Structure 1
Amino acid sequence: MDNIITFEDFTKVDLRIGTIVEVNDFPEARHPAYQLKIDFGDLGVKTSSAQITTRYEKEDLLHKQIVAVVNFPKKQIAKFMSECLVLGAVDGKDVILLNPQIKVKNGSTVS
């Protein structure tokens, strides 16, 4: 495996649990996507663009807890600023969101 990282590298990635509080269509995106607002508790509400439209309807995402990287630099996507990266498993063209099996406090760390 060519891309081995150290444990210290891994500890730099800030993975947190958040709850999706708003979902909007993102027609300006190059590939079908939603604009998400995610509540990370004490870290506040952050935005993210997610290409998950083939697997999820907007109403199914609302109030869903997810796992995201919250310490990437902001990224401009069309006219939208993405502040975190929502994580999912890629299954063909579908992305299946990673989420806790039991509801936890928003902002909880993932290790």
Structure 2
Amino acid sequence: MDKIITFEDFTKVDLRIGTIIEVNDFPEARNPAYLLVIDFGDLGLKKSSAQITKRYQKDELLQRQIVAVVNFPKKQIATFMSECLVVGAVDGKDVILLHPENKVKNGSTVS
């Protein structure tokens, strides 16, 4: 473990639960990815790209709750402006999405 952060550093990261409501192909991406629209309840809708095409089909992702960082600045990815970062566990080159065990309110905080 070579990157130690303080508790105060961790509290700056705004992790929230959202539900994927739209999934589209992203042919302009350098690596295979989907374009996602995610509902974060009172925070509104946010867009993200995710390199999860190896593990997930588009229809599997619809209505799936996920964990995302919602307080990063927007980031240009090819022709797309990403507004949040979907969180997943990396298993080799595969990404497995993190999600709540039970359905929760969109926008719920993760701590």
Q: Same fold (TM over 0.5)?
A: yes
- Cα deviation, residue 28, structure 1: 0.2
Partner-residue secondary structure (3-state), 2:103: coil
Q: How many positions carry a matched residue from both structures?
A: 111
1:5 matched to 2:5? The reply is yes
In the other structure, the counterpart of 2:96 is 96
Q: Percent identity, aligned pairs only? A: 84
- Gap runs ≥5 in structure 1: none
RMSD, matched Cα: 0.5
| 2:29 aligned partner, one-letter code | A
User: How far, CA to CA, are the matches of 2:82 and 2:57 in structure 1?
Assistant: 20
Q: Which residue identity lines up with residue 73 of structure 1 in the other structure?
A: P
SS at 1:60 equivalent: helix
Q: Give the TM-score of the pair, scaled to structure 1.
A: 0.99
Unaligned runs of 5+ in 2: none
Moved over 4 A (4+): none
Give the TM-score of the pair, scaled to structure 2.
0.99
* Counterpart for residue 81 of structure 1: 81
